[in-house]
Chain A
Amino acid sequence: MIFVTTGTQAPFNRLIRAMEEIAGELVDEEVVAQAFGVDFVVRNMKIVEFLTPEEYMGIFSKARLIISHAGMGTIISALKERKPIIIVPRIAAYGEHRNEHQLATANKIAQLNYMPVVYNMDELREVVLGTHSGSNVLFTMPELGDTASQSLISSIQEFMIAARKPR
């Protein structure tokens, strides 16, 4: 199963339209897409607008591959679960977000070689269908612990200990 996730902030129909086409070319593979504001008929995928955290994690764990907008929630979940993922950033110039921070996040992720990032839908089709027919996309995900870096946590805790004293 492939899980497409686009968050709850705004529609991402460029990705949903492309995945609808790609899903039509996949043989025997279910595609579930979490998306809202889909303004065209979808036949090849199951669309769900919102998911509870439990539903989300259930589908996420079952999926073979995640295709996601460049949202940190999904990126962190994929790193934690070591789940193959392809990132497709929202482009503000196309009205998909309010600013280009997803593009910046995606560029950084690509630069750090955390996970594959694709910027256009032809590339996405090749990568998804390529993975499907057995060719490997390189998923070089670093292992992720359960918490933020100890240095950040210690820094905040030291601040809080200092805050105990009256101002």
Chain B
Amino acid sequence: MKIMGIASVGGHWVQLLRITLAFNDEDVFFVSTNPDFASMVPGKKFYHIAEASRWNKIRLLKSFWHAFHIVSKEKPDVIVTTGAAPGLMGLMVGWLMGVRTVWIDSIANVEKISLSGRIASRFADRVYTQWPELASSKIMYAGNVLV
């Protein structure tokens, strides 16, 4: 099984690694907005994707386009993201191409699910929150990255 892990620079990326590096028996490759992060996943395939936010639609499109190329080339079975907007772009591409999708909302979202997470909950196969009080019928809680 091939897994694509995608996350933006900063806390999103650190959280993604704390989750996906536990899948040590799986074929995982990574996508992030900082090309320097390749060095943090030695031995794993790494792709760079454009940084984007909902305030810059052009960059969102660019990010979506990058994600489209990566997913077409690698054909992952599952896409896992911890956010933010570029992760959502990756998940949307996956959804359109029939790939299973998992959104894990950042642990920084302690009072409400992020906007991207709420969008992801409309189409993703699995959505997690890292705070039990934010779980709902569509959004699961199964633990968090701070253990």
| Chain A residues in the interface with B (C-beta under 8 A) | 7-9, 52-54, 70-77, 79, 98, 101-102, 104-105, 107-108, 142, 144-157, 159-160, 163-164, 167
Closest beta carbon of chain A to B142's beta carbon, Å: 4
* CB-defined contacts of A104 to chain B, threshold 8 Å: 108-111
Interface pair B39/A54, CB less than 8 Å apart = yes
Q: Sample 15 A-B pairs with CB under 8 A, ordered by A number.
A: A53-B36, A72-B10, A72-B11, A72-B12, A101-B108, A104-B110, A144-B147, A146-B18, A148-B19, A150-B147, A156-B80, A156-B126, A160-B23, A160-B78, A163-B78
Residue B15 CB within 8 A of the other chain: yes
Main DSSP-derived SS at the B contact region: loop
Query: Quick check: is B50 within 8 A (CB to CB) of the other chain?
Result: no
Q: Which residues from chain B sit less than 8 Å from chain A, CB to CB? A: 1, 3, 9-15, 18-19, 21-23, 26, 36-37, 39-40, 55, 77-78, 80, 98, 100, 102, 104, 106-111, 114, 125-126, 128, 130, 140, 142-147
- Contact present for A150 and B143 (CB under 8 Å): yes
Given contacts A105-B110, A160-B3, is CB(A8)–CB(B126) below 8 Å?
A: no
User: Which B residues touch A151, using CB under 8 A?
Assistant: 142-143
